[in-house]
Amino acid sequence: MKKPRPIRASIPAAAVRPSAIAIAAALALASCSSSAGGGHATSPSSVTSGTGGAVKASGCPKGTARGATSSTVTAAVSVINLSIGSLNNSTYGIPSVKDQETDWNLVADDINKSGGAGCRKVEIKFYPVNPGDAAGAQRVCLNIAAAHPYMVLDSGALTEAGYGNCIPAHKIALASEYLTQDELKKYHPYYLQIGAIPEDTIRTGTLGLKQLGYFGPAKNFKKIGVLYHTCAGSLIAAQRAALSEAGVASSNIVTYSLGCPSTEDTPAALEQAVLSFKNAGVSAVTALEITDFGVFTQIAKQQNFKPQYLFAENDIPTTSATKSANSPNPSNFDGAVDVLGGGYGEQTTPGFQPTAGTLKCNAIFSAAGKPDVYKQADGYGGLVCDYLWFFQALLNHTPQLSSDSLAGAMKSVGTVDFSYPLAPIDFSAAPAGSAYGVSYWRAADYHASCNCWQVPDPTFHKPFA
């Protein structure tokens, strides 16, 4: 899961989430048939529910809290309302504000029919956010804080762009996928991560690559080239530690720094990286916080350099299916592997059978005459299921209604079988007191023949100890 650069001038786009795509585009403007097998995705054997999502409450939270009554609990939801000149949500395939709100209401209604969250009916209040308008986004943050909901559910419109800190500062809980480890520490216990922190994601992905044999002779591994930006300090340290844990000798690691640019990397800088790796005898290449990696592959093709591309950031580089200037060269990128804690790739894998969590989410939208999450823009409806199931799981497992008790309840949630585009998350696997979980993992492979990512093995593997 890529995180914003400190300068916030350009936010990397996580291809599994529509919010990230819209935010990346907004901020930049303001400053996928192959032989991959199908099969049934194996859900964890010990999850919060055997049919996906969260279980019914084992007890009702006691006490009182702002944004909640004895019968209701209010969630503030940020929805994307991209507007920059002639560009809007539809420009980037993002559902309209109305469609986003419809999705949230459908899932909330389903939760309410099954007993609610913490024995309370979920009530949602929507807050449209234009991630390309910094001042406007800050005003939305302050408006949410002034309304004092019980919790804020932000799928990236505020937090990925760095606009959400006023909410935990007002001691209101906020759940998102885009929180850094520093933010989680600074605003503990009010910031809550729906999934893993990026440092853990990098470790999981790297150890997953080792388990799949990509650092061994069977995969013709010799040396790995690491392309990185210096502004990702904590992630650089995490990657170095993970490679060491995976048994990759320091003598077999070739690094190339692109500095910490305020805009995208220049083709000249990327060409020097390609030549550096080629001349050093690199057989595999990975990247850290590189948003224009497609250009690297284009140059590599020109230089007759064809490494094995390996990724461990829970972020799929843009494929040529998007027809952008940053699209990877298909033949050079063919066979790339990303070990990720998400479901991306299954939607383009022939014959793939969804997990129980995805099937449960699909049933909610099917009943309303809407397409399943694979057919929605980057699975937006699946994210809605995941955020509200997380909200429900927390309320079902916290003994006290107070907002500062939620982080302490996360470990007792256990594993939640989330819908696509997320993977199952084990909240019990994180250290005691942590306001985040640890993702299950599996690999996705890029195929030039279909210009897409596919899942060769549907099984989700448990997090590494």
Instruction: Determine the pLDDT at residue 323.
Output: 65
Distance separating the N- and C-terminal Cα atoms of the chain: 20
Q: Is the pLDDT confidence value at 378 over 80?
A: no
Nearest to 406 by CA among 61, 116, 153, 111: 61
Instruction: Give Cβ neighbours of residue 119 (< 8 Å, ≥ 6 apart).
Output: 57, 60, 61
E-assigned strand segments in 263-378? 284-288, 308-311, 337-340, 352-353
Nearest to 78 by CA among 175, 13, 195, 184: 175
Q: What is the mean pLDDT of the chain?
A: 87
Structure tokens at 182: 């520093």
Instruction: Determine the pLDDT at residue 317.
Output: 60
Nearest to 206 by CA among 287, 107, 261: 287
Q: What is the C-alpha to C-alpha distance for residues 310 and 156, in angstroms, rounded to an integer?
A: 26
Q: Is the pLDDT confidence value at 6 over 70?
A: no
Whole-number percent of the chain with pLDDT over 90: 73
Instruction: Determine the pLDDT at residue 316.
Output: 61
Across the range 406-416, mean pLDDT stands at 94
- What is the per-residue pLDDT across 152-191, written as a single tens digit (0 to 9) for each? 999 889 998 889 999 999 999 999 999 988 999 999 999 9
Instruction: Determine the pLDDT at residue 9.
Output: 27
Q: What torsion, rounded to 10 degrees, do the Cα atoms 231, 233, 237, 243 define? A: -20
Instruction: Determine the pLDDT at residue 3.
Output: 35
Across the range 57-74, mean pLDDT stands at 89
Confidence of residue 465 (pLDDT cuts 50, 70, 90): confident
Instruction: Determine the pLDDT at residue 56.
Output: 47
pTM of the model: 0.89
Could you write out the three-class secondary structure of 348-391?
HCCCEECCHHHHHHHHHHHHCCCCCHHHCHHHHHHHHHHHHHHH
- DSSP structure class, residue 43: P
Which residue do the tokens 């409450």 mark? 57
10 Å Cβ neighbour count for 263?
11
3-state secondary structure of 308: strand
10 Å Cβ neighbour count for 249?
10
Pair type for strands 121-129 and 72-80: parallel
Structure tokens at 65: 């809290």
Q: Is the pLDDT confidence value at 281 over 50?
A: yes
Across the range 122-133, mean pLDDT stands at 95
Gyration radius of the chain's alpha carbons: 21
Q: Which of 28-42, 129-143, 151-165, 198-212 has the lowest mean pLDDT?
A: 28-42
Whole-number percent of the chain with pLDDT over 70: 85
Q: Is the pLDDT confidence value at 114 over 70?
A: yes
Structure tokens at 8: 């916030």
As to burial, measured by CB atoms within 10 angstroms (0-12 exposed, 13-18 middle, 19+ buried), residue 194 is buried
Confidence of residue 320 (pLDDT cuts 50, 70, 90): very low
Confidence of residue 357 (pLDDT cuts 50, 70, 90): very high
Instruction: Determine the pLDDT at residue 5.
Output: 29
Instruction: Determine the pLDDT at residue 38.
Output: 45
Across the range 105-117, mean pLDDT stands at 97
> Long-range CB contacts (< 8 A, 24+ apart) of 263-272?
263/9, 263/10, 264/10, 264/291, 264/292, 265/290, 265/292, 265/295, 267/295, 267/299, 270/295, 270/296, 270/299, 271/299, 271/303
Across the range 298-313, mean pLDDT stands at 96
Q: Is the pLDDT confidence value at 387 over 90?
A: yes
